[in-house]
Amino acid sequence: MNFNELGLNARMVTRLEGLGITEPTPIQAKAIPEALSGRDILGIAQTGTGKTAAFGIPLVTALSKRQEKAAPRTARGLILAPTRELANQIVDTLRDLTSDQRITLVVGGKSINAQAQKLSRGTDILVATPGRLIDLMERRAVDLRATRFLVLDEADQMLDIGFVHALRQIAPQLGKDRQTMMFSATMPKAMAELSRDYLTDPVRVEVSPPGKVADKVAHSVHFVPKEKKQELLIDLLDGHRDDRALVFSRTKHGAERLMKTLEKVGFAATSIHGNKSQGQRDRAIAAFKDGSVRVLVATDVAARGIDIEGVGHVYNYDLPNVPENYVHRIGRTARAGRTGRAVAFCSADEMGDLKAIEKTLGARIEVAGGAPWGGTADAAKPKAKRRPRRRNGRRGANKMAA
């Protein structure tokens, strides 16, 4: 199938060809015709399969057909994303797709006054994180009543990090006569409930079972004591110093400590997490993209929205406590048809997290090293020897069973 067969106009097809994009991915092939017909969409697909273009192409096409001009402080289309990094990635994709439409980004960590100034002129597509959008709404810097298109990208993560209350504030402000598209790589029960609240008679487009790992990712797990994780990571990274590697830590402080340790032993490393300013995060990602650093240590802020060519390895230094995030994390490699490797480290107290991940995947992860723990940290510790019971005032009167 090619893009001509999906009902796109010649101008869009030509633009895609100029970007070297000639064949739609499966999620694009299924979602674009339905979206062009005006249907609400619930899209489920693995990370790295082209979901952004799956909603971006029909959104840009629909807005160009209407040929309206955005009034001051209004947005014709709204895309909500859970993280700044994902919002930035969406804007980059949209700007590749059109040069005629005004695209405005509003996220935390940037000057809200500058963002309000941009919105004062009106915009065709507003890409926003929910918290910053509400700040602007409360300042009356943006009016969403004329918004006719709403996209919720990575909606399941919005639920994970508590944006559902923000969504309930934002959605009623939009025009009732609108088209809504919701996309994600996983489909937890709470997201199904969310879709019933925001989608009207949606068509569900799904190209892989929720929680399925991309076919070209070879993933494995090492069972390793917590205090040995650094040593193992350094040893594994040393085997591919010229490749880009993304290392996930569960906490902000842990990510920063690990990055500094890697720097001390000679790796070109940087980090991104919630304690970094937006400028620091942008510079870190830029350095990782241009290859001036080869190791990026991150919290789950980077699990979505980072689309960087050549990430050959993903390390789950700490397992995620939300099992669906495992899929998103390792989806940062093997993108756009490439191959990649993902390696997880599992300490004794993470055994429950591993079991939850394997349940979500519906499969066991290949063991690359060590042996599975007993299931809890206590089970992995050496057991204290039992002392013989006293009988008639004497210790060890009877032999104990081995």
pLDDT at residue 123 in the model: 98
Q: Which helix (DSSP H) or strand (DSSP E) does residue 220 occupy?
A: strand 217-223
Q: In terms of C-beta density within 10 A (0-12 exposed, 13-18 middle, 19 or more buried), how is residue 48 classed?
A: buried
Q: Give the residue among 78, 278, 47 at the shortest CA–CA distance from 183.
A: 47
Residue 174 phi, psi dihedral angles, 5° rounding = -85, 160
pLDDT at residue 191 in the model: 75
Q: Give the residue among 156, 177, 178 at the shortest CA–CA distance from 167.
A: 156
C-alpha 190: how far from chain center: 17
Domains 3-206 and 217-377 share a fold: yes
- Look at strands 41-44 and 203-206 and give their pairing: parallel
Buried residues in 213-242 as b, exposed as e (16+ CB within 10 A): bbeebbbebbbbeeeebbebbeebbeeeee
| Domain range summary for the chain, segments of one domain joined by + | 3-206, 217-377
Question: Which amino acid would we find at residue 395?
Answer: R
How far apart (Å, rounded) are the C-alpha atoms in residues 43 and 127?
19
Full-prediction pTM beyond 0.75?
no
Q: Give the residue among 113, 109, 106 at the shortest CA–CA distance from 88.
A: 106
- 3-state DSSP assignment of residue 381: coil
- 3-state DSSP assignment of residue 13: helix
CATH superfamily of 217-377: P-loop containing nucleotide triphosphate hydrolases (3.40.50.300)
> Contact at 8 Å (CB) between 347 and 227?
no
Q: Give the residue among 104, 149, 158 at the shortest CA–CA distance from 131.
A: 158
Beta strand segments in 70-212, E: 75-80, 103-106, 123-128, 149-153, 179-184, 203-206
pLDDT at residue 377 in the model: 39
pLDDT at residue 109 in the model: 84
pLDDT at residue 276 in the model: 85
Residue 101 phi, psi dihedral angles, 5° rounding = -110, 140
pLDDT at residue 47 in the model: 67
Q: Give the residue among 8, 99, 4 at the shortest CA–CA distance from 62.
A: 8
Local mean pLDDT, 10-residue blocks, the chain (402 residues): 89 93 92 96 82 95 90 97 89 94 94 96 97 96 96 82 83 90 81 85 82 73 97 96 92 95 96 85 89 92 69 94 84 74 96 93 92 60 42 38 30
For 3-206, which CATH class?
alpha beta
Q: How far is CA 206 from CA 1, 21, 40, 291, 329, in A?
A: 17, 21, 14, 34, 20
Alpha helices in 111-163 (DSSP H): 112-119, 130-138, 155-160
